Each structure stands twice: as structure tokens, then as C-alpha cells.
Chain A
């Protein structure tokens, strides 16, 4: 029966090619627009580290004064110097990394070589293993290097290209902020999107150009800022040049916790730490900690750009309008077949059979609309990629969206077809046959 309905649908559409074409085009345009924006949304909210995100957690504590007008309830995203050091030494997580960023003047270790500013991430040894950063040459520095404030550096592939022409530079030296550093390794292009471990500079965009040991970095001249330093109290500039200021947060901290038991233990340890600091009088507030997993953290930080969220809503508005349009055209189309339907009904077809036949026809329109919508979505994504926005590069067509586009198209067409089909199936046979 289904094959027969397909055949009927095909004939019916062929008979009114313009009307059929309009319906297909309307669905295709709606699908194209909404799949484009859905893909952008999906890529932007995607998992930056598939396979690792489940074991990565972001601890937060609340060192703020009790009386802080206009403060949010949520503890600060970043840690103060003291908390960063204390939690780093807490040592109960299998892996942990404390980090921050700024930019530093760098030149080759040769007389009169030109200086240039490079962005850096200062962090501790576990960073690379914990986040799965791939190495091209050499390896990460060791925990011993961290403890010894060793002057070693890990370069990005791009920076290695710029300074050493892309060769294996492990063991070579360069001058960073007047101090000589030895290259320990070169990492491959690695820039997870969203840039989850430090969202302060925007969630999308370029990665850092080099990595330095955190405690070595703190010894460098203090004139290049400390990432996203935020201070409470009334002084907006407090501590800009003093990372150890007690009222300023600027260090990001991540831990790896492999089992639910470890997560529970760590949460308890955070609470205990906060309570202890509260007792010491350093924390004025009662313990208030967070320990979010990576994906929960991204959710909580609303990393999707507002314009993208708005455009996704608008794209669905367009789909809705396309559907209303299709409903109108289908009503016209099915009513035009009233004579034919009257004959079928008179010959014994049930209302249900007529309804199914009309829905099959709607489904065929949906499939055709979906197939035409795919190249339109591809075109739409290409247009997004041409835009000079930070998230443009992540607007790529994904195979999984293929199925989604077809399913969405068929569902929309069926939804649009229900009412016209109901009306068509309630055609009174006698009236129609008489007028033939």
C-alpha cells in the first residue's frame, strides 16, 4: 500500500509541478536556514576535549569579604595567589594544573635579534598530560622543574616555525623578558574550542603561543599583567602589579578526578579547606565551593555568543514561516484533488486511507525539501565561514547534521501536512462525484 501511495504522490506532484516546486523550495529554505544556525550552535557548544572532558573538574572557592555590594552569589571563577598555591599543594587529585596568562617580549638568543610580543600560558607540568596536548618534539617539563623554578619553555608549532624555522628546537635557548629559557618541547596545533580552561579572553579564538612553568613565570618582571586579574573592594587597579595581592583573583585551576569517589573526596577537601581558611579568619564567608565538570562549567558560563543564540531563534522563526507557507500551499493542493478523493472515497477507501495518502505525499515533499535544503545549509555555513567573527572557523558541515536535516524536513512537512490531509479526508464523496 505504501508503494502505491508513493506512486500516487509522485503522479500528483508531477501534475502540479509549480505548486510542488514552491512547497519543496519553501521547506528547503527553512531547513537550510535552521540547519545552518543549528550547526553553528552545535559546534560552538561542542565538547572541546571528547574523551577527557568527563574527568576534568574546575574547583572554585569563595575568598571574598562578607560585605561586597552588588556581588554575585557565585564564587569567583579564578583563584587568588594564596588559594592557587594552597590548592596546588593539596595533592589529592591524580593530576592538577594551576595557570594564568599574559604576553611577554621574546627574542632569539642572539645579539641584536628583534623583540616581539608573544602570548603565553604559565602553568604546571600536569597541564599537558591532563588535557592531552600532543607534542611534535620533546616533552613537557617535569614537576621537579616546577619546584626548581626552571627556565624552560614549551613552544607552539606556530611559534617554533617563526623563531626556529620549524626545526627540532629542543635544547635551544631564547630570551623571554630578559631571561634565558631552554626549549623543552614543541606542541602540535592545539586549541580546543571553546577555550574552556580560561574563558576570560573570550571562549573562541586563538590559542597561546608558548607555555612556561607557573612559578618561574611569577619570578619574571611584573609589568605585563596577570591575565584577567579581578580585585574586589573599591580599587579597580589594586594589585595589577602585585599578583600576590590578597584581594585579587587571576589564576585558573583544573584537576583530574577519575572516579566518583575521588570527586566526592575532592569536594569534601575543598569544603574542609574553606572551613579551615574561615577559621583562620582569612575567609569571611562560610565555605561555598564549586566543583563542576568541564561540560557543566561551560554551561554555567554561557559560552555561546548572544548573537548566535538569537540567530538560532530567528532561523527557527523562518522555518515556522516556511511551514505556514507550506500548509497554505498544501491546503490548496489537496483541495484541488477533491474530485479524485471523492472518487476514491466512493469506491470504498476509508477516511484513514485518504489521510495516509495525503500524508505520504507531504512526506515526499519533505524528503525533497530536505535534500534541497542540504546544499543550502552547506552554502549557509560557507557564508558564515566568510564572516570575520571569532567563531567562523568552527562553522563546518557535519555528517551527523545530514540525518538531522532530513529528519527535520520530513517532520516539518508531515506537521504541515496533517491539517490539510485531515481536511482532504473529510471531503464528502457524494458532493464531489456529482459535480464531476
Chain B
């Protein structure tokens, strides 16, 4: 209550420093606006970098084994899968490229005439064993059996492929909830019948809703010779790098005419996928630190100036019976009031800046709790910055009142 009684004289005193107070409020408001949005961008990036693709990432690695056209290679695709599965530690293998590595979006249609695409989806097309290798969770319907899979060597263009789709895509295409058994069409390939629904499979992690729109097609790979991306899943996540190396060597040995190119774990793929965004985030953190330092310097500079200017008044208050604590609280309260003003104005600025960034850089809408965090940070920063000058003020001896400045 004592503190509340102080507010009226503080406001009265501030009125005679309108300019400086306004500038300080403005500075805090601008800092809050920029800080709120930056924290949001950085936090969003970090959050995104932890979103799962829906596959058993810690156990999954990818090998690229490229065929040389015109060069004989005796090994068949099915044999290559067998070679990979025989490597100790490998739980499963399939001819397919995992998410984040070669993700490409294609238009999807629900009418055979293919006039109006209804979604852009990630298509994962691979060999038998794809679903198990990725470790996908079928939550509705079922995975097509080996007998049902179209045989890659003899497939005709009118054969209907049994496919799995993600839950998000099923809900988007068929909001009534009856996706199973329905036919869908991609740009030019075979018609596809939905036989099962998996919980999640994100081709990329951009933050969009349709990240999780995916179609999974398996073809039965037999005697043809294929090169390209093979995905393996290992039993023990800790063994992944060693097993992946062993698998690459085994594949190279079985395919002397192929070029053994990349071998990378999903952890590495994820690291490289988010490298740019995280680097940009680090630069934004540096900018945030600069902002905080500058604002703290400004607050503490002006507070020092005011303390200096009011030495005589402080001395008088002390002489009239105010304790050191009273003086300390006075300056702390004053700072709290100014920062609060800045926070109020800053909320407006933050939303304005967010609108601008949304418009220009497709940023998402700023959630309110970032502003609360920003306000708390600025209040703390203000109190910290004013502590030094306020302590100096509290140390002004009462005798100053009797001197002329």
C-alpha cells in the first residue's frame, strides 16, 4: 500500500520530464515489438526442427546407389533388397527415398478427368517393405499384402494401385470420414485405391498443414535392375552409423558397376534440412541480444541522468525523513511505470510489425503469449537497468539538501 501511495507523486514528477519519458516509452515499445516477433520466429524454427516426419527416424538411414546406363550389372532389385536385409543389424530395407531427402510435391485429383487438383501431396513410391522400413503406423484399414502389390516389371497403365494415405490427407479429401476404398489420381500415373490410413508421414517440415499430406505406393520389385535410393531400418538406433556403412559396402560389392554415392542417416538429413533456418535463427538471437543491451543502456543512462538531476530533491526527501528504501522504491516504481507504458504501446507495435511480416514474408500470426513473455522480459530488464542508478540515489546523504548544487 505504501508503494501505491507513491504513484501519484511519481506521475507528477514524470510530467515535468515529458520528452524523456516519451522517448523511453517509445524505445521500450519498439524493443518489445521487434523482440516479440523475433522470439516468435526463432522459437517457431526450433519447434519445427523437432517435429517428427512420422517415420522411425533414429533407426533409419539412406543409401544412394546409382546405376550406370549401358554398363552390365547382373544384380536384380530384389537381390539388392536381400543383400541389404542380410547385413547384420538391418531390420528391413526398401527401394525408396525417405522424407526430407528427396521430397517433391505433386498435384492430386479425385476425379479421373484430372481437371482440378484437390491437394498437393508428397508421393512416396517404393518397393515392397516400404511401410515396415519407414516404421509407419497403419491406424485404419490395412497394408496391402504382397500378393496385391502390382509387379513392377509387368504393370500396365490401367492397373489400380493399392495405396496408403495419411490421416490428415484422408480427412482433407474425404471430410465425411469414408476414405477407405476410394479412388484417387496423381498427375499421370495409375489410378490409386486407398486401402489403409497411416497416422503421420511428413515429406517436409515447413509448418504448413499439407506437410502431412502423403500417399504411399509399394510396387513389387523383382528381376529388374534398379539403382537409386535405398532406405534401411536398423534394430538398434545406436548402431545406425556402423550398420549403414556396412550396408553401403555390401551394396557396392553386389553392384560393382554402380556408383556408390551418398549414405546418410536421418539425423544427418534432418540436420542439413534445417541448417539454413537454424543459422538464420542464430543470427536473430544475436540481434535480440544487441537490442536488449541497447535498451538496458538507454534505461540506465536516463535513470542515471535523473538521479544526478534530482540529487537535491532526494537530499530534501531524506532530510524530511524518507528512508533509503523509500528512495530506492521510488526509482524502481518510476521505472516500472515507464516500462509498463512501453509494454502497452509495444503490444500495438508488435501486432503491427507482425502484420507487416505476415504480409511480406509469410510469417504466421503472433500468438499472445509471446507478448506476455516479452513484457516480462522487459520489466525484468528495466528493473535490472535501474538498480544501479536507484542504489546510487538511495545513497545520497540528506546533507545535500542544505548545499546549493
A 1-45 binary contact with B (CB < 8 Å = 1; else 0): 000000000000000001100110110011011000000000000
Contacts of A325 in B (CB 8 A): 27, 294-295, 297-298
What is the CA–CA distance of A236 and B107 in the complex, to the nearest angstrom? 8
Min CB–CB distance B403 → chain A (angstroms): 15
Question: Which candidate, A140-148, A180-188, A303-311, is the interface stretch facing chain B?
Answer: A303-311
A3–chain B nearest beta-carbon distance, Å: 29
Q: Pick the contact of A389 from B68, B69, B279 — CB < 8 Å?
A: B279
Q: Cβ of B286: which chain A residues have Cβ within 8 Å of it? A: 380, 383
Residues 376-391 (chain A) with a chain B CB within 8 angstroms: 380, 383-384, 387-390
Q: Please tell me if the beta carbons of A237 and B301 are within 8 angstroms of each other in the complex.
A: no
The answer to the question of A398 belonging to the interface, with a C-beta cut-off of 8 Å to chain B, is: no
B261 to chain A, nearest CB (A): 5
A286 beta carbon closer than 8 Å to chain B: no
Does B69 lie within 8 Å of A221, measured CB to CB? yes
Contact flag A318-B107 (CB < 8 Å), given A178-B70, A328-B302, A390-B276: no
**Interface of chain A: mostly helix, strand, loop or mixed:** helix
A329, CB-defined interface residue at 8 Å? yes
Cβ of A105 within 8 Å of any chain B Cβ, yes or no, is: yes
Q: A90 near B: Cβ within 8 Å?
A: no
With A29-B290, A33-B287 given, is the CB distance from A18 to B301 under 8 Å? yes
A236-B188, A237-B188, A311-B283 known; A388-B275 Cβ under 8 A: yes
Interface pair B293/A29, CB less than 8 Å apart = yes
> Which of A115, A324, A384, A390: most chain B CB closer than 10 A?
A324
Interface residues of A in 212-226 (CB under 8 A from B): 221-223
Residues of chain B within 8 A of A69, CB atoms compared: 115-116
- Cβ contacts under 8 Å, A221 to chain B: 68-70
From B259, B276, B277, B361, A116 is in contact (CB under 8 Å) with B259
Cβ B298 vs Cβ A389 within 8 A: no
Question: Chain B interface (Cβ within 8 Å of chain A)?
Answer: 19-20, 23-24, 26-27, 30-31, 34, 38, 66-71, 104, 106-107, 109, 114-116, 186-189, 257-259, 261, 275-277, 279-280, 282-284, 286-287, 290-291, 293-295, 297-298, 300-302, 304-306, 308-309, 353, 357, 360-361
| CB pairs A–B below 8 angstroms (11 shown) | A117-B66, A234-B114, A236-B106, A236-B186, A237-B188, A310-B360, A315-B287, A325-B295, A329-B301, A383-B286, A384-B283
Besides the known contacts A223-B67, A236-B104, A325-B294, 14 further A-B residue pairs in the complex with CB atoms under 8 A apart = A18-B301, A25-B294, A26-B294, A29-B290, A223-B69, A237-B188, A307-B276, A314-B34, A314-B38, A314-B287, A321-B30, A321-B31, A329-B298, A389-B276
